[in-house]
Amino acid sequence: MSDPLPHPTSLVQRLREAQAEHGWLPRPLLAGLAGELGLPLAHVEGVASFYRFFHLQPVGRYRILFSDNITDRMLGNQALMADLCRRLGVQPGVMRADGRVSVATASCTGLCDQGPAMLVNHHQVITRLDAERVARIAELIEAEVPPAQWSAEWSRVDDNIRRADVLLGSALAPGEALAAGLARGPEGTIEEIKRSNLRGRGGAGFATGTEWALCRQAPGDQRVVVCNADEGEPGTFKDRVLLTRHADLVFEGMTVAAFAIGAAQGFVYLRGEYRYLLEQLEAVLQRRREAKLLGEGILGRDGFDFDITIHLGAGAYVCGEESALIESLEGKRGTPRIRPPFPVRHGYLGRPTSVNNVETFCAAAYIVQRGSAWWAGIGTPKSTGTKIHSISGDCERPGIYEYPFGTRVETMLVDCGARDTQAVQVGGPSGTCLSASEFGRRICFEDVPTAGALMVFDRSRDMFEVARNFAQFFAHESCGFCTPCRVGTELVVRRLDKLAAGRGSRHDVEVLYELDKLMHGATHCGLGGAACNPLRDTIAKFRPSYERHLKSLHFEPGFDLDAELSEARAATGRDDAGAHLESSHE
Ligand SMILES: Cc1cc2nc3c(=O)[nH]c(=O)nc-3n(C[C@H](O)[C@H](O)[C@H](O)COP(=O)(O)O)c2cc1C
Ligand code: SF4
């Protein structure tokens, strides 16, 4: 299929291609791209510098990125990375003098059920790392063996489906849901989705039928359907498995949405870490075109034209936020937009755009085929149907579990073989941390909502270190657009590092509370708003973990309250910053 992207919008993809060819992005190359796309060089440089997978300085011909999620750490990634660096004589984040290799970390690569994991040259994944694999990898790099010739077994990615329910356990023939949608008509399809009370699986839980209706009704004649496959929330890997095992179903759901909304153009925004899935996804798309399930006159219906392009991300978690995702699709930096207007009215290139999660499209396809009553009969009244969970951490059987909404956390812990569990992080770092007294709670929008991650921590884990890893994640992924998030996330990391080094006092915990309050209402997008969630939960529920790191229970001698307050004010731009601190000091 010819690339439907107008040229400037293809910038991010062009940068990826250029880097895949040259290894990094030297200035003359950027200047060439700028000329070709009719863009100022400063714009091209600004976009390239935004994404972590683009390199404006030379990097090693072998670029190794260790996944650095908390579950990778629990599986020993830090010692393995130190070992690899020692064997290769390289410092983390610094290219070796001969230009052969660089080793660094990436946020979660979506392989938590089979970590520790690494990415090689942004293209190849290696799972289940251990000391032996690391030693062999060092030898292969020294011998300049291309990664494509390394053991295929190392790149094996298992689906690990442990519990299948109606989505993972049934089969839908390609075109079946689409035929049901055509029979219902666009309005009838939207009504069916509304009646099912399907809520988006990407986190916010917005009613999918309402979103499609708003998009259909929005002024404009070129509508767009986007599948959000950015899956950047640490601990989440269910979309990886849906795209691996059920790509047809995902594309079917997107095509049903296109029919209902009246869209001719579709995108899958695939996170860069899942680059290894690209060829097989393209092959499924091609098969669907040949079967008349994509392209012009789908299933013989005149005027029903729709096709899907896969757009690869480049290592920016914030691009999972729907408006940042759209900016990235347009070839720009992934800075979240000011909303309203919402994407359903003003999305990709100003066109009405519906952005939905991978799992949402799968559910929608089934609902259109089997009917809303069937779906609404599963789960709870406000959370209908099933939810797919990615379970990882301290359990015997990490992997994918599909449950009806309303299932209790304790049931999931038994099923995955968790023992002596101290805490469960539901929904990734942006979600909720539950302590043992809360394991009777239910996963649903009425109680504990989730985008699909469930990380298990047994009693040997230091919950302070868990919170510190999450804080590092948010500071690393803040896009830097607004001050409270950019500075606030860094200040949180600094405080936690101080506590970890044994130099902190109770005052530091107070400041952390304060930073949470200040950031909560003052940030531009959900990333900054959620950045302190793990901190708040763990301080409240696992206070002893923090106390163990406190140097003293009082303010340290020489503590300068004024300096602390002006730091908090500078961070947030709010004059009331630190009011709580002042009163507690008095
Ligand atoms: C920082 C941030 C990251 C997000 N990442 C994702 C993601 O990886 N996948 C996803 O489906 N939604 C993600 N979302 C939510 C999307 O903005 C959006 O709500 C979702 O794609 C809508 O799809 P749904 O209605 O099917 O849930 C993220 C939101 C924020 C604030
Ligand atoms: S809250 Fe953070 S991620 Fe969101 S726009 Fe502001 S700086 Fe960027």
- Pick from 159, 141, 151, 154: which is nearest to 61 by CA? 141
Provide the pLDDT confidence category of residue 491 given band limits of 50, 70 and 90. very high
- What is the pLDDT at residue 6? 52
What Rg, from alpha-carbon coordinates, does the chain have? 24
Sign of CA dihedral 548, 552, 553, 554: negative
- pLDDT at site 570: 58
Which band of pLDDT confidence, cut at 50, 70 and 90, is reported for residue 585? very low
Which residues does a 6 A CB cutoff place in the pocket of ligand 2? 318, 336, 478-482, 485-486, 523-525, 527-528
Give me ligand 2 centre to Cα 332, in Å.
16
Other beta carbons within 10 Å of 566 = 13
Proximal ligand: closest to the CA of 522:
2
Per-position DSSP letters for 51-64, written without gaps between them: STT--SS---SEEE
Of 2 and 181, which is predicted with more confidence? 181
Residue 561: is its pLDDT beyond 80?
no
Bond before 429 cis per omega within 30 degrees: no
- Confidence label for 563 from pLDDT (cuts 50, 70 and 90): low
Distance from residue 526's CA to the centre of ligand 1 (Å): 10
Whether 456 shows a pLDDT value over 70: the answer reads: yes
For residue 586, what pLDDT band results from cuts at 50, 70 and 90? very low
Greater pLDDT, 513 or 229: 229
For 440, residues 6+ apart whose C-beta sits below 8 A from its C-beta are 408, 409, 410
Structure tokens at 261: 């909304």
Q: CA-CA distance, 424 to 426, in Å (whole number)? A: 6
Mean pLDDT of 217-223: 95
**Is the CB of 526 inside a 6 Å radius of any atom of ligand 1?**
yes
Instruction: Give yes or no for residue 497 having a pLDDT over 90.
Output: yes
pLDDT attached to residue 565: 45
Averaged pLDDT score across all residues of the chain: 92
- What is the reported pLDDT for 550? 77
Write down the pLDDT at residue 221. 87
CB 483 within 8 Å of CB 573: yes
Atom 8 of ligand 2: nearest residue by CA position? 479
Residue 399: CB within 6 Å of ligand 1? no
Assigned token pair, 92: 């983390």
Distance CA 12, CA 44 (A): 9
In contact, 77 and 204? CB cutoff 8 Å? no
Shortest-distance ligand to the CA of residue 572? 2
Q: What is the mean pLDDT of residues 146-164?
A: 98
Instruction: Tell me how far apart the 2 most distant CA atoms of the chain are, in Å.
Output: 79
Give the pLDDT confidence score for residue 556 in this predicted structure. 47
What is the Å distance from ligand 1's center to 236 Cα? 12
